[in-house]
Amino acid sequence: MFNMRQLTLVGAAMILLGVIAVASSRIFMATDAMAATAPVIRTPASVTVSPLRAADHYSVLRRFSGRIEPNQTVDIAFDEPGKLAAILAQEGETVAAGTALAKLDTELLEIERDRLVRLLATARDEESITQSSLEREEERRKKTRETKTAIDNLRIALAQVSGRAADLKGHITMLEARIRRATLISPFAGSISQHFADTGSSFEAGQPILRLIEDGPRNVRIGIDAVLCRDLSIGDELDLLIGTDPVAARITAILPDLDPGTQTRTVLFELQENPVIVAGSVATMQMMQEIPASGALVPISALRDGSRGLWEIIVAVPDGDAHRIAVEAVEILNVNDQTAFIRGTFAQDALVVSEGQHRFVPGQPVSPIQ
């Protein structure tokens, strides 16, 4: 139990604490009131901007490709049917012009030729004997009055044997030609690309035996947009890309008609002689094409994703004596490595923010720095 003195001390302490609490609350209320009535000062953020570059066109890099082909490619065949005796040049082998490539079995032709040669020798002997008999008979008739019947018969016999000898000689010449043509000869220097028949196989006349590709400069046939062809001329020299390597080429022809499949005009190029250029590879031609359009060029970094799949740019627009942030929807017409060609709702003299767009919101005052 507390006595009277203790109760008096406790009461005094409680009164003192109450006075302190009331004084503190008044101080805090005064501080809040001062804070509520003090003006808020907002300093415009500095932002780096660049003016939009208005343009009436943009450039597009066009690429057109075609296959590299040799000057000549020929599938070599025999003129008549037969059996293949030997292939003298292997696939991948390089041959000179006039090199024997393959041979037919000519055994029967040679047998027939030898038989006719013997017959021709007999006919020429008979011709020689008949000629001698005719000369003796003509000499004897000069000394006698006999009729010339014998002489006429000898002349007829000589004409017959001479005709038979000439006919045999013609047949022999034909057989010798067939035997010569039984060996395929390379018409030009090149490389054997492919075999179509094996030794010992039989084939028909005109059936390909092997394929020969000419060595030397290669050609390229490329279909190019008809509009861009107006800027090309026969004799123009330019670089084509084979893989990533540029190769010098010269235009040799521009065909006048459109390819119905690609709606392009075919341009023929001759490549410089280069051992690394392989027939069948792809060569690419690059050309810049100007597309008329009204818009502006901006750095790629100035673009950002907008709502509903659209693109946006952030611009600083004049607002009295200052500037404020605005968002403009844009359509991208073309993009290259560093810039984009756009059109949209922006003013032609707008100042575009190309960096730090995430730090700004629409309506925010800014201080542009160009």
The residue type at 368: P
pLDDT of amino acid 101: 93
- Alpha carbon distance 106, 112 (integer Å): 10
**What's residue 4's pLDDT?**
44
CA–CA gap between residue 219 and residue 276 (Å, rounded): 14
25, part of any domain: no
Specify if 85 maps to a domain: yes
- If residue 256 lies in a helix (H) or strand (E), which one and from where to where? strand 245-258
Look at residue 238 and give its three-state secondary structure: strand
User: Chain-wide mean pLDDT for the chain?
Assistant: 82
Residues of the chain scoring pLDDT < 50: 1-13, 15, 17, 19-41
The closest of 209, 188, 207 to 197, measured between CA atoms, is: 209
Structural domain including 228 reads 63-71+216-291
Cα–Cα distance for residue pair 154/131, rounded to 1 Å: 8
In a domain, 334, yes or no: yes
Count the domains in the chain: 4
| pLDDT score of 147 | 59
Q: Are residues 141 and 82 in the same domain?
A: no
CA nearest to 76, candidates 188, 218, 235, 237: 188
Indicate the residue among 227, 260, 291 that finishes a domain.
291
Q: What is the CATH number of the domain that holds 301?
A: 2.40.420.20
Domain shared by 279 and 298, yes or no: no
Q: What is the DSSP string of 85-113?
A: EEE-S-TT-EE-TT-EEEEE--HHHHHHH
Where a domain ends, among 194, 215, 236? 215
pLDDT at 151: 75
pTM here is 0.59
User: Does residue 18 belong to any structural domain of this protein?
Assistant: no
Residue 269 lies in a domain: yes
Q: Distance between CA 15 and CA 168 in Å, rounded?
A: 157
DSSP reduced 3-state for 136: helix
Q: What gap in Å lies between CA 185 and CA 101, rounded to an integer?
A: 6
| Predicted pLDDT at 203 | 84
Instruction: Note whether residue 29 is domain-resident.
Output: no
Cα–Cα separations (whole angstroms), residue 98 to 76, 101, 211, 216, 327: 13, 9, 15, 17, 77
What letter does residue 318 receive in the DSSP assignment? E
Picking from 181, 203, 232, the residue at the C-terminal end of a domain is 181
Reported as a single tens digit per residue, the pLDDT across 173-216 is 999 988 988 899 999 888 898 899 888 888 888 899 999 998 87
- Domain identity same for 228 and 268: yes
